[in-house]
C-alpha cells in the first residue's frame, strides 16, 4: 500500500462539540489508485484532507506515505512533517490561481530548480495534458471556470507530487461541465499514474472518478470500498441510505423448505447469498433495502401500488409508490410507461442482492 491512514482522529481546539471532526479513520490506497471521500456537509472530509496535506495536526493515529510517517499522534510518537516537505499537491474548490501571473508562470510556480527551457517544456507538457496547449500567455480572468481548474490541476501535477489531494474542485462549475471534467480528471490521473484522494459530496462524481470510495458520516468512515460493493453491499444503514435511491421495508427472514427467504410486503425474496440467516435477528425481524431498480413494473403482478409522485429522469421515471399495506417504495420505470398520479400499477421485486439491517428502534 502507498497511502496509509491508521485510526486518524482530529479534534478542533475549543470546539463546542465533544465529537471529533474526524474519528479514528483508517484507509489505504495503492500507488496509482484514486480514492474518493463522500458524505454530508460537516462529516469531516475536508479536515481529513487537510491533515494529510499537513495543514491540520492530528490528535490520534498515523498518516504514512510509502512507509514514511508524515503525521503521528500515538503513545509512542508525535510527528508532524511540515506541509512543504510532504511532496503532496492540492487542488481546491476556489481556483486559487495567482491573478498577477499568466498561465505559464502559474504552472511553473511550484517547479523545482530547472533551467528556463526545461521549465517551459514541462509547462507545455502539463498544459497539453489538461487540454490547454498554447494558453501560456493568458491570465486567470481570460479563462472560464473549467479552464482555470484545468490550470490549477496542471500546476498541482507539474512537480510530480507523491499524492494529489482534490477538495471539491468542480463544485463551482455547472453540472454538464462537472461530469465531463470528472471523466477527464480520471484519464489524466491514470495517464500520469498519480495517486489521488478526491473529496466531493456528489455521488455521480465519486463513481466517475474513484477506484475506491469512502462514505463518511459524523467523522467516521462507514465503508471504504469500490462503487459496486457500496451500492450492492452497503455495510451500514447510513451507506445504504446515502447511496442511490431506496427505502427500508419491514421484513422477516424465515426458514422455508427451499432454505431461508425474506418475507416482504412485495412478496418473498429468495436467493439470499451473503444475507444473514433467520437467527441473525430476533424472530427474524429486520428491514430490507429496496432500491428503485429492484422494483419492476409488471401489470401481471398481484402486488399493486399507487403512484404518489413521479420525477422524469430522461430514459426513466422515478416513481414514489404506496402499497396497499401502507409501505412506500421507489421504482425506476422506463419513461415510455407514463402513468398518471393516483393510478394503481402492478409491481414485483427483482432483487439481485438482498440487503437487510436490524429494525430501526423508535426514538
Ligand atoms: N477550523 C475549525 N475549527 C473548529 N471546527 C472546525 C474547523 N474546521 C472544521 N470544523 C468542524 O469540523 C467538522 C468537519 O468539518 P469539515 O469541513 O471537515 O467537513 P466537510 O465534510 O468537509 O464539510 P463540507 O462538505 O461542508 O465542506 C464540522 O463540524 C466543522 O464545523
Task: Assess whether 121 and 255 both reside in one domain.
Answer: no
| Residue 363 included in any domain | no
Q: Which residue's C-alpha cell is 489521488?
A: 196
**Backbone torsion region of residue 58, taken as left when φ is above 0, otherwise alpha when ψ lies between -120 and 50, otherwise beta:** beta
From 9, 19, 21, 201, give the residue whose CB has the most ligand 1 atoms within 8 Å, as the site to mutate. Answer: 21
Structural domain ending residue among the three candidates 219, 238, 257: 238
Task: Assess whether 190 and 134 both reside in one domain.
Answer: yes
What is the Å distance from ligand 1's center to 50 Cα? 11
| Model pLDDT, residue 142 | 93
| Model pLDDT, residue 280 | 80
Task: Assess whether 80 and 103 both reside in one domain.
Answer: yes
Angle at 263 between CA 270 and CA 233, to 5 degrees: 55
What is the Å distance from ligand 1's center to 48 Cα? 9
Task: Assess whether 58 and 189 both reside in one domain.
Answer: yes
For the CA of 49, the closest atom of ligand 1 is: 18
The predicted-structure confidence for 64-121, as pLDDT tens digits, reads as follows 999 999 999 999 999 999 999 999 999 988 768 899 999 999 999 888 778 889 999 9
Task: Assess whether 204 and 289 both reside in one domain.
Answer: no
| Model pLDDT, residue 95 | 63
The domain that holds 52 is classified in CATH as: 3.40.50.300
**Whose CA is closest to atom 26 on ligand 1?**
41
What is the Å distance from ligand 1's center to 96 Cα? 20
For the CA of 199, the closest atom of ligand 1 is: 22
The domain that holds 328 is classified in CATH as: 2.40.50.140
Task: Assess whether 283 and 175 both reside in one domain.
Answer: no
What is the Å distance from ligand 1's center to 45 Cα? 8
| Model pLDDT, residue 189 | 95
Contacts of 266 (CB under 8 A, 6+ apart): 249, 290, 295, 303, 323, 329, 347, 348, 349
Task: Assess whether 269 and 217 both reside in one domain.
Answer: no
The ligand 1 site (C-beta within 6 Å) comprises: 12, 15, 21, 39, 41-47, 201
Task: Assess whether 26 and 53 both reside in one domain.
Answer: yes
From 45, 199, 200, 217, give the residue whose CB has the most ligand 1 atoms within 8 Å, as the site to mutate. Answer: 45
For the CA of 14, the closest atom of ligand 1 is: 4
3-state class (DSSP) for residue 126? helix
| Residue 99 included in any domain | yes
Structural domains of the chain, count: 2
Of the candidates 264, 343, 57, the one whose C-alpha atom is nearest the C-alpha of residue 272 is 264
3-state class (DSSP) for residue 97? coil
| Residue 29 included in any domain | yes
| Model pLDDT, residue 15 | 67
Give the pairing of strands 220-225 and 246-256: unpaired
Cα separation values, 71 from 4, 78, 81, 85, Å: 11, 7, 6, 12
| Residue 113 included in any domain | yes
Task: Assess whether 183 and 320 both reside in one domain.
Answer: no
For the CA of 19, the closest atom of ligand 1 is: 29
Segments forming the whole domain that contains residue 81: 3-238
Task: Assess whether 199 and 268 both reside in one domain.
Answer: no
| Residue 346 included in any domain | yes
What is the Å distance from ligand 1's center to 40 Cα? 11
**Whose CA is closest to atom 14 on ligand 1?**
44
**Whose CA is closest to atom 29 on ligand 1?**
42
Structural domain ending residue among the three candidates 238, 264, 288: 238
| Model pLDDT, residue 125 | 93
Task: Assess whether 70 and 124 both reside in one domain.
Answer: yes
**Whose CA is closest to atom 11 on ligand 1?**
21
What is the Å distance from ligand 1's center to 47 Cα? 6
Low-confidence ranges of the chain (pLDDT < 50): 363
The interface predicted TM-score (ipTM) is 0.94
Q: What is the DSSP string of 50-87?
A: HHHHTSS--SEEEEEETTEEEEEESSS-EEE--GGGS-
| Residue 341 included in any domain | yes
The predicted-structure confidence for 140-170, as pLDDT tens digits, reads as follows 999 988 899 899 999 999 999 999 999 998 8
Structural domain ending residue among the three candidates 210, 238, 266: 238
Task: Assess whether 159 and 294 both reside in one domain.
Answer: no
Amino acid at each position: 500500500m502507498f497511502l496509509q491512514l491508521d485510526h486518524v482522529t482530529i479534534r478542533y481546539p475549543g470546539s463546542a462539540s465533544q465529537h471529533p471532526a474526524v474519528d479514528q479513520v483508517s484507509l489505504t490506497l495503492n500507488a496509482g489508485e484514486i480514492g474518493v471521500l463522500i458524505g454530508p456537509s460537516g462529516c469531516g472530509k475536508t479536515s481529513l484532507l487537510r491533515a494529510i496535506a499537513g495543514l491540520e495536526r492530528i490528535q490520534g493515529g498515523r498518516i504514512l506515505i510509502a512507509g514514511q510517517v508524515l503525521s503521528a499522534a500515538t503513545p509512542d510518537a508525535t510527528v508532524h512533517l511540515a506541509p512543504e516537505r510532504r511532496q503532496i499537491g492540492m487542488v481546491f474548490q476556489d481556483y486559487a490561481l495567482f491573478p498577477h501571473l499568466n498561465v505559464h508562470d502559474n504552472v511553473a510556480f511550484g517547479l523545482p530548480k530547472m533551467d528556463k527551457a526545461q521549465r517551459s517544456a514541462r509547462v507545455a507538457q502539463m498544459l497539453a495534458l489538461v487540454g490547454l496547449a498554447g494558453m501560456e500567455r493568458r491570465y486567470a480572468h481570460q479563462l472560464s471556470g473549467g479552464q482555470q481548474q484545468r490550470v490549477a490541476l496542471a500546476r498541482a501535477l507539474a512537480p510530480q507530487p507523491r499524492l494529489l489531494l482534490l477538495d471539491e474542485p468542480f463544485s463551482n462549475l455547472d453540472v454538464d461541465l462537472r461530469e465531463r471534467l470528472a471523466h477527464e480528471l480520471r484519464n489524466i490521473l491514470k495517464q500520469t499514474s498519480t495517486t489521488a484522494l478526491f473529496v466531493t459530496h456528489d455521488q455521480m462524481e465519486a463513481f466517475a472518478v474513484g477506484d475506491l470510495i469512502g462514505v463518511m458520516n459524523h467523522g467516521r468512515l462507514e465503508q471504504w470500498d469500490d462503487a459496486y460493493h457500496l451500492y450492492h453491499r452497503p455495510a451500514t444503514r447510513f451507506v445504504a441510505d446515502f447511496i442511490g435511491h431506496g427505502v427500508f421495508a419491514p421484513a422477516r427472514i424465515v426458514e422455508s423448505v427451499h432454505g431461508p427467504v425474506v418475507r416482504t410486503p412485495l412478496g418473498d425474496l429468495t436467493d439470499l447469498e451473503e444475507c444473514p440467516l433467520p437467527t441473525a435477528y430476533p424472530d427474524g425481524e429486520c428491514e430490507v433495502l429496496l432500491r428503485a431498480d429492484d422494483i419492476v413494473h409488471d401489470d401481471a403482478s398481484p402486488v399493486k401500488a399507487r403512484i404518489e409522485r413521479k420525477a422524469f429522469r430522461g430514459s426513466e421515471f422515478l416513481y414514489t409508490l404506496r402499497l396497499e399495506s401502507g409501505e412506500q417504495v421507489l421504482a425506476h420505470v422506463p419513461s415510455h410507461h407514463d402513468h398518471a398520479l393516483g393510478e394503481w400499477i402492478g409491481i414485483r421485486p427483482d432483487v439481485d442482492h438482498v440487503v437487510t439491517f436490524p429494525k430501526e428502534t423508535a426514538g
